[in-house]
Structure 1
């Protein structure tokens, strides 16, 4: 009986705050990563443009060489 009397009645834990979305640190990290990926995408697009231009130039040269 003493053991039961010594125990406190259990109280429910307070509810955890509901998070509506990412915190400021997560947003800053995501924005930084987005900036990096955007930069990399632009570099890839420029490289593809160069490859396409080279391909067109090569096709013209091949056409000229095979026509003669």
Structure 2
């Protein structure tokens, strides 16, 4: 019974070692790739015409 206070600590450490360390790696879907490209485009500073030209390229799939 003298080890009872350490049992929850030991079990939590053991459970932490059994859990996966990184999410499963998978390729992006075409929809995710397009969404990431649009998000990156929104962060760039460019004039109105250039922005819409690039956006149309992304949406039409001519740039990907």
TM-score normalised by L of structure 2: 0.31
Larger-Rg structure: 1
Structure ranking higher on relative contact order (CA contacts 8 Å, 6+ apart):
2
